[in-house]
Structure 1
Amino acid sequence: MANSDTSVLFVCLGNICRSPTAEAVFREKIKNSHFSVDIDSAGTMGHHAGVTPDERAKAVGEMRGYNFKGIKSRRVVFEDFERFEYILAMDKENLRHLLEMCPAEHQHKVSLFMHFADSDVEEVPDPYYGGKRGFEYVLDLIELACEGLLVKLAPRFEVR
């Protein structure tokens, strides 16, 4: 977080669908703002390390103007708990895995991403085994939660 005002890590299981989509969406949403945010995504498992995002997630996201360039899958590492101020899990299972990995002094940074959304939905479901509609629904939820995260962060950046 050296040159940024805050930092956000989006986390799902394999870091090929939901969390890279959240990374791309949040990058776009802050692009023209005065926010300086370190943004990344990772997975709780490392099976897809080095792989670019799922083509279906990219296709749906790109249709809405999001750029996935440079995003590659990686696994959550110990240093992430020190580096990031917000560590946002897409679902309760990944939240549980993160809390198991996270040192006690950093657990306050870990939460469900959908807590930032004005919605009754608590989790971003994994669209991997579904069709295009599932990826569109996931993108809808991610956009909603990103807007809520921006609202949460905005007061911190208004007074400079």
Structure 2
Amino acid sequence: MTLLIRGEKAYGEKQAETIKSGIAYSVAIKSRIFYSLIVFAFFMISVSTLNLFLPTYVTSIGYSVEQSAFVASAIMLGVTIGKVALGWLNDRNVSFGILASISLDILGFILLLLGKSGIVVPTGGRFLFGWAYAGITVETALLLRSIFGSKDLY
């Protein structure tokens, strides 16, 4: 007598193939939307690389090294919360997730530029701009899957 956990098959028992829906890889790479997504990913990566230079920028506009490190921490907090929030938003509506990611990135950049009056404004801007990092790993993968499906996905 073999004890099985619910939903599992015995060793050697033939399992039904799961049919994955979507567009075949060979067709997808010939479409314009595929190359548009590559451009989208390129711009997301380009914007997120600004995060590497922000602590130096914050120091150059007159803040201390400690305040600059605090701003860098706000970026990482934005990345962490942004990944969870963007995943949740994209599960509901991919278009809204993309709009939220891009809008918060732009707002974060504007807040950084207005940050000469106090450290709270650039810190909040960095938190929002941290969503650019989150957008790279979350948005591009979910956008690809929502457009092309998961037919040729492992």
Same fold (TM over 0.5): no
More RCO (CA 8 Å, sep 6+): 2
The structure that is strand-richer by fraction is 1
Q: TM-score, normalised by structure 1?
A: 0.28
Q: TM-score, normalised by structure 2?
A: 0.29
